[in-house]
């Protein structure tokens, strides 16, 4: 599978509800912030650790860790965070296609045109209480990804094209994803979309619905996202609305597991066991990794959802959204496949 | 206490003995490497995480986490790693004195004069087997620390001046440490030295012995380091040689705990319990933090060593050499003080 996503380095630190309130951040969500706000939030954060991240990038790393072939398209700057990001994808066995550091240029977005060089994107992750994460993302160089960065043979030789919903906020990235979707259709590549975030769904609801009708084969969304997407008052109603679309959809419900909507009916799949939830960053990304790996290997949707749950359980048991164990070995030991 | 040390960001990844052999690294030790070798080793490393590090910097963070006053003098570059390093010290409550990013300049050391800008120092840490760490350090901007960076009132108002042995490899830093030691003597500030590493001891044995005789009050060394320092065939002989110097010395022996040599006799102190050793990076640094915090609070050497052991046990139970829990709270709960 090949993913198009934002290239980000996560800066993770423990925090408090008071800190979130002081910074105007909504617990459990992702806020896009400009450079000044990113710097102000960072200044207020505790000492942290840095791990390569980015939603779709986490997913391709998960697929590679399961033993699948995966590739990534995105943009970093020519700086230390960019170097970390590219190193970590390569070390995980992910192909990079055209992904190269973007040439240096100055930040020119409204409100941030301070002449600072465009840096690799940074996602500040504040982990509170029972591992819940709240994110403030400065996209930086990730904003420069456009249609010219869509590596055609790379996309057309994949079995799945995976699109990160977050990127829908950026017009050039949106155009790039539309271009990639056209290529995917020409080459009979399955198209999967991640809803990414409730606010992201709210911002792009109509476009996402059009996309689901015309261009997407597989949808990933959590409970809140799918309810917002279909304007449904309950999860069951939302799942009912998804059934009518004919999509294959994996709807995640945190500790309650996931619900898979298929042409042959709707399945409830329990969550995998977790000893201790440390940091939920990447849970949805790794669920998608397990699910898509299973799908490309020809497994039944129920098995795909079990694999997704297994990978999500691993990633929430430690800080950071990249797996820390050999997922292929983990899948073997649990005898799911 | 105020420490003079190398400002480094640690890049940590799991690795194998084969990888160490391939890269010519000696397990359990620290090698100084130029930019090219650092890049080559990094390229071969698995995906990792980044945590601020530096031996003496880890120690001052530990002292602050115990509730003590601590400060740091060192040099970073004006880049993302430099920003992380300074942020993490500040967020931990460590005073920075004159520590500011060094103005940009090009790397000019023999073998690395490739016109690359001088970057913040980076310590590649490969964790093998039972948490043993092997390090390859590219000092980068840390090499620019010199006597002009010794913040006089900062040093003279401290209760302890802590010197990182590693810095003895750099003539300007060595001159800076000599200058700081003079200031400490003028102001009745206790001087502590960390032997840092067996190879570091081998490189500077005679100078370290002179320094211990004339300028140092407290020595930190592990078993191998103290044997090399005093040319002793056994640990007991080395401890005997230390007794004759009249120094206060804390000699660490890994899982066997530590031995404290005092004017009033030699004490054996058992190690604190650890559930699982994940990564021994920073064990000695955090031992020194606990010991020095105890000393500055007027505790007996035995209690100081227990505090050191407790802090070391915390830091080896996770990846990275900075504490992840409230050490003051931990010390209270264990009723050591």
Q: DSSP string spanning A61-77? A: HHHHHTT---EEE--EE
Of A42, A49, A88, the CB nearest to B47: A88
Residue A146: name the closest of A104, A185, A98 by CA.
Answer: A98
Instruction: Say how many C-beta atoms besides its own lie within 10 A of residue A92's C-beta.
Output: 21
The C-alpha angle B329, B335, B337, rounded to 5 degrees, equals 85
Contact between B57 and B89 under an 8 Å Cβ cutoff? The reply is yes
pLDDT at B113: 47
pLDDT at B111: 39
Of B46, B79, B119, the CB nearest to A91: B46
pLDDT grade for A111, boundaries at 50, 70 and 90? very low
Residue A331 has pLDDT above 50, yes or no: yes
Q: How far is A51 from chain B (nearest CA, A)?
A: 5
Yes or no, beta carbons of A87 and B51 under 8 Å apart:
no
Q: Does B47 contact chain A (CB < 8 Å)?
A: yes
Name the residue in chain A with its Cα closest to that of B89: A47
Yes or no, beta carbons of B47 and A52 under 8 Å apart:
yes
Yes or no, beta carbons of A51 and B46 under 8 Å apart:
no
pLDDT tens-digit readout, A13-25: 999 999 999 999 9
pLDDT tens-digit readout, A57-97: 999 999 999 999 999 999 999 999 999 999 999 999 999 97
pLDDT at A109: 46
Q: What is the pLDDT along chain B (337 residues), one digit of tens a residue?
A: 999 999 999 999 999 999 999 999 999 989 999 999 999 999 999 999 999 999 999 999 999 999 999 999 999 999 999 999 999 999 999 999 766 676 555 555 443 445 667 999 999 999 998 889 999 999 999 999 999 999 999 999 999 999 999 999 999 999 999 999 999 999 999 999 999 999 999 999 999 999 999 999 999 999 999 999 999 999 999 999 999 999 999 999 999 999 999 999 999 999 999 999 999 999 999 999 999 999 999 999 999 999 999 999 999 999 899 999 999 999 999 999 8
The answer to whether position A33 is within a domain reads no
Q: Does A331 contact chain B (CB < 8 Å)?
A: no
- Alpha-carbon distance values, B157 to B5, B32, B160 (Å): 18, 33, 9
| Residue A91: domain span | 2-7+54-100+142-333
In b/e form, how buried is each residue of A148-168, taking b as 16+ CB within 10 angstroms? ebbbeebbbebbbbbbbbbbb
Contacts of A46 in chain B (CB under 8 A): 91
The answer to whether position A27 is within a domain reads no
Q: How far is A88 from chain B (nearest CA, A)?
A: 4
CATH code, domain with A318 = 3.40.1190.20
pTM of the predicted model as reported, rounded to 2 decimal places: 0.92
The answer to whether position A290 is within a domain reads yes
The interface predicted TM-score of the complex, written ipTM, equals: 0.89
Helix (H, G, I), strand (E, B) or coil at B109: coil
**How many domains is chain A built from?**
1
Of B47, B52, B87, the CB nearest to A322: B47
The answer to whether position A36 is within a domain reads no
pLDDT at B87: 97
pLDDT at B107: 57
Q: Does A80 contact chain B (CB < 8 Å)?
A: yes
pLDDT at B109: 46
Instruction: Say how many C-beta atoms besides its own lie within 10 A of residue A303's C-beta.
Output: 18
Please state, in angstroms and rounded to a whole number, the distance separating the CA atoms of residues B126 and A19: 34
Q: What is the arithmetic mean of pLDDT over A101-113?
A: 53
Q: How far is A112 from chain B (nearest CA, A)?
A: 18
Q: Does B138 contact chain A (CB < 8 Å)?
A: no
Residue A277 has pLDDT above 70, yes or no: yes
Name the residue in chain B with its Cα closest to that of A121: B80
Q: How far is A326 from chain B (nearest CA, A)?
A: 12
Structure-block tokens of residue B259 = 């031995």
Q: How far is B89 from chain A (nearest CA, A)?
A: 7
Instruction: Say how many C-beta atoms besides its own lie within 10 A of residue B104's C-beta.
Output: 12
Number of Cβ pairs closer than 8 Å across A and B?
54
Yes or no, beta carbons of A81 and B80 under 8 Å apart:
yes
The answer to whether position B113 is within a domain reads no
Of A46, A49, A79, the CB nearest to B320: A49
Which chain A residues in 233-262 lie under 8 Å from chain B, judged by CB atoms?
none
Q: Does A322 contact chain B (CB < 8 Å)?
A: yes
The answer to whether position A147 is within a domain reads yes
pLDDT grade for A104, boundaries at 50, 70 and 90? low
Contacts of B15 in chain A (CB under 8 A): none
Residue A199 has pLDDT above 60, yes or no: yes
Q: Does B81 contact chain A (CB < 8 Å)?
A: yes
Name the residue in chain B with its Cα closest to that of A92: B47
pLDDT at B98: 67
The mean of the pLDDT values for chain A is 93
Name the residue in chain A with its Cα closest to that of B40: A87
Residue A161: name the closest of A177, A175, A147, A172 by CA.
Answer: A177
Instruction: Say how many C-beta atoms besides its own lie within 10 A of residue A214's C-beta.
Output: 9
The answer to whether position A309 is within a domain reads yes
Please state, in angstroms and rounded to a whole number, the distance separating the CA atoms of residues A114 and A183: 38
Structure-block tokens of residue B86 = 């300074």
The answer to whether position B165 is within a domain reads yes
Q: What is the DSSP string of B229-262?
A: HTT-SSHHHHHHHHHHHT-EEEEE-GGG-EEEEE
Residue A120 has pLDDT above 70, yes or no: yes
- Pick the range with the lowest mean pLDDT from A202-211, A266-275, B106-115: B106-115
């Amino acid at each position: 599978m090949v993913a198009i996503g934002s290239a980000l380095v996560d800066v993770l630190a423990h925090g408090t509800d008071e800190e979130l309130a002081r910074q105007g951040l909504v617990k459990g969500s992702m806020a896009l912030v400009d450079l000044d706000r990113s710097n102000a939030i960072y200044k207020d954060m505790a000492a942290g650790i840095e791990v390569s991240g980015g939603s779709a990038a986490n997913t391709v790393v998960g697929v590679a860790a399961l033993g699948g072939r995966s590739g990534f398209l995105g943009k970093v700057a020519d700086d230390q965070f960019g170097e970390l990001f590219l190193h970590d994808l390569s070390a995980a066995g992910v192909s990079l296609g055209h992904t190269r550091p973007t040439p240096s240029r100055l930040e020119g977005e409204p409100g941030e045109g301070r002449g600072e060089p465009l840096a690799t994107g940074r996602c500040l992750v504040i982990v509170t209480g029972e591992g819940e994460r709240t994110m403030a993302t400065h996209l930086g160089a990730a904003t420069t990804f456009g249609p010219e960065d869509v590596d055609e043979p790379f996309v057309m030789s994949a079995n799945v094209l995976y699109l990160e919903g977050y990127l829908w906020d950026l017009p050039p990235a949106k155009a790039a994803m539309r271009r990639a979707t056209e290529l995917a259709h020409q080459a009979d590549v399955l198209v999967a979309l991640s809803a990414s975030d409730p606010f992201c769904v709210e911002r792009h609801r109509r476009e996402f619905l059009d996309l689901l009708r015309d261009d997407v084969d597989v949808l990933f969304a959590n409970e809140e996202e799918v309810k917002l997407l279909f304007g449904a008052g309950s999860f069951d109603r939302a799942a009912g609305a998804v059934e009518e679309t004919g999509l294959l959809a994996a709807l995640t419900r945190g500790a309650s597991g996931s619900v898979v909507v298929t042409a042959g009916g709707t399945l409830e799949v329990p969550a995998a066991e977790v000893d201790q939830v440390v940091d939920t960053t990447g849970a949805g990304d790794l669920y998608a990794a397990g699910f898509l790996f299973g799908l490309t290997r020809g497994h039944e949707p129920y098995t795909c959802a079990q694999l997704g749950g297994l990978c999500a359980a691993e990633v929430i048991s430690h800080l950071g959204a990249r797996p820390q164990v050999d997922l292929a070995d983990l899948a073997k030991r649990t005898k799911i496949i």
